[in-house]
Amino acid sequence: MGAEFRGDETETWYNQSVTRLYRFVYGRVQNRAEAEDITQEAYVRCLKMYKGRNSLPPYAYLRQTAQNLIYDRYRSLLTHPVSTVDPKRPQQIYARAKSVVFAYGDTVVSETVPDAPFVLSPGAALGQADGGQLEVLKDSLRWRQGGLEIKAEGPRALELARQLAKITLPQAGQGTGQVPQVKVPVNMEVVRNSQQQVDAGSSPWQLDPLQVAQTFVALKMSPGGIKGNPPVAYSSFKLAVNTGAEAVVRVAQGPVKTVYLKRLVRQDASGIWTVVGYAPR
């Protein structure tokens, strides 16, 4: 891969960013020749757009230009998908105005321009993708990267996600490593009965650690029961850690600043969360 650029400053800019940009493109198209073409075209377009300016395009602008080129290249495949037999390449690619879907047989990777904040699904564990939040469900990974929301679904979700980002998964059954300042007594008979109720379709909010934490805080503030809306809004509760077995929730306001929870009956997406401790504010 190579191109002729004039000026030491431009050549340095190119050399410092080309490998990173190529990897970004290749991770999406999984074809060396296509990745090289798109990478070079991104540089050509960026230099034309910045002609006459006193600075060179930042990497974020380069990456967005490359992403737009990928969209443009595959938009025609919306009604005429490409088919391949290479397991490392998508068998079908579909493009719309704000999304591209790469189908690898039984696994699909979608990239979408988000129009709302990133919100974790209630039953998801929390990992990391390039240092940001990673939603972890069975055969499903979802995260934000480079202004896009990316979701990989299927048996190869982890393999394909690792081509796009540095993925860190929570270890199964791993604890949070954090000790509550105040421990909350737990009645396991009540917990098991609550699990049975949820299994039967009642009180599904107990599958969401944020709602469980919100209810706990509300009852701390109103021991006689909750009347009307909870005193602390759901938006004030943020998931700090979720290993799938244990969770830590931060609370932005109210008498409790941290809530500690565990899945005591079943450590999977069907298991309810129970408060086992908290830290007062």
Query: What does the pLDDT look like over 107-116, one tens digit per residue?
Result: 888 888 888 8
What is the per-residue pLDDT for 226? 76
Asked if the structure places residue 140 within a domain, the reply is yes
Q: Name the burial class of residue 61, with classes exposed (0-12), middle (13-18) and buried (19+) by CB atoms within 10 angstroms of its CB.
A: middle
Residues contacting residue 144 through CB under 8 Å, at least 6 positions apart: 114, 118, 129, 132, 133, 150
Rounded Cα distance, 27 and 104, in Å? 13
Asked if the structure places residue 163 within a domain, the reply is yes
Domain count, the chain: 3
Question: What letter represents residue 246's amino acid?
Answer: E
Asked if the structure places residue 175 within a domain, the reply is no
Domain final residue, candidates 105, 140, 168: 168
What is the per-residue pLDDT for 216? 94
Neighbours of 32 (CB within 10 A): 11
Q: Which of 20-34, 198-212, 258-272 has the lowest mean pLDDT?
A: 20-34
247 compared with 89, residue with greater pLDDT: 247
179 compared with 261, residue with greater pLDDT: 261
| Radius of gyration of the chain, Cα coordinates, nearest whole angstrom | 24
Asked if the structure places residue 176 within a domain, the reply is no
164 is in which domain, residue-wise? 77-168
pTM: 0.57
Q: HSE-up of 89 (CA within 13 Å, CB side)? A: 15
Model confidence at 191, pLDDT cuts 50, 70, 90, reads very high
Asked if the structure places residue 204 within a domain, the reply is yes
Rounded Cα distance, 218 and 230, in Å? 6
What is the per-residue pLDDT for 142? 94
Asked if the structure places residue 253 within a domain, the reply is yes
Tokens representing 207 are 């599958």
